[in-house]
């Protein structure tokens, strides 16, 4: 139940472009990673893609990744499999993978977002967890990043105090 709600929300966020470029790239990476898994993570990816299916051609590289993993989709959701097949043939089939035609400004979104996310991956989530894992599992550097942001904020505040007193 929660998996479905979260996945639908995640898909709607991608579809409605509510994230900045970096976060959009991370979100798309999570979707791609979900299709390399089984079980609940695969179902998460399927539900997410259903939410933004019509937008997939705007992300050519990610669409191709999902298309290449479509056999897993067939096992879990034959209707989505058919919709992906049709959409791919309508939009991507005629594009050459290494030409300007296959490129998109949204591709840059993914690439920009994926530059610094090697530490943020489903690969680090334990396989035997009952759900999708905790925030720390999904974002292992979250606590460290939060501490660094707090330190920078504190240092900036100290700097402002020094400037006004000095």
pLDDT tens per residue, range 24-73? 889 999 999 998 888 999 999 999 999 999 999 988 989 999 999 889 89
**Residue 143 confidence class, pLDDT cut points 50, 70, 90:** low
More confident residue, 121 or 83: 83
CB atoms within 10 A of CB 43: 17
Q: Are the C-beta atoms of 35 and 69 separated by less than 8 Å?
A: yes
Q: What is the pLDDT of residue 123?
A: 44
- For the cut 80, the answer to whether the pLDDT of residue 165 exceeds it is no
- For the cut 60, the answer to whether the pLDDT of residue 121 exceeds it is no
Which pTM does this prediction carry? 0.57
Angle value at C-alpha 54, between 50 and 56, nearest 5 degrees: 85
- For the cut 60, the answer to whether the pLDDT of residue 138 exceeds it is no
Q: Are the C-beta atoms of 3 and 44 separated by less than 8 Å?
A: yes
- For the cut 80, the answer to whether the pLDDT of residue 132 exceeds it is no
- For the cut 80, the answer to whether the pLDDT of residue 142 exceeds it is no
């Amino acid at each position: 139940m929660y998996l479905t709600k979260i996945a639908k929300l995640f898909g709607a966020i991608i579809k409605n472009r509510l994230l900045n470029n970096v976060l959009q790239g991370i979100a798309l990476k999570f979707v791609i990673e979900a299709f390399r898994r089984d079980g609940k993570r695969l179902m998460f990816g399927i539900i997410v893609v259903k939410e933004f299916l019509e937008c997939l051609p705007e992300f050519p590289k990610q669409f191709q990744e999902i298309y290449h993993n479509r056999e897993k989709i067939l096992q879990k959701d034959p209707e989505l499999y058919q919709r992906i097949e049709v959409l791919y043939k309508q939009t991507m089939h005629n594009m050459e993978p290494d030409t300007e035609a296959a490129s998109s400004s949204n591709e840059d979104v993914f690439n920009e977002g994926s530059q610094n996310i090697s530490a943020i991956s489903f690969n680090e989530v334990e396989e035997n967890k009952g759900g999708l894992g905790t925030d720390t599992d999904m974002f292992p550097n979250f606590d460290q990043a939060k501490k660094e942001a707090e330190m920078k904020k504190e240092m900036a505040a100290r700097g402002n105090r020094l400037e006004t007193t000095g």
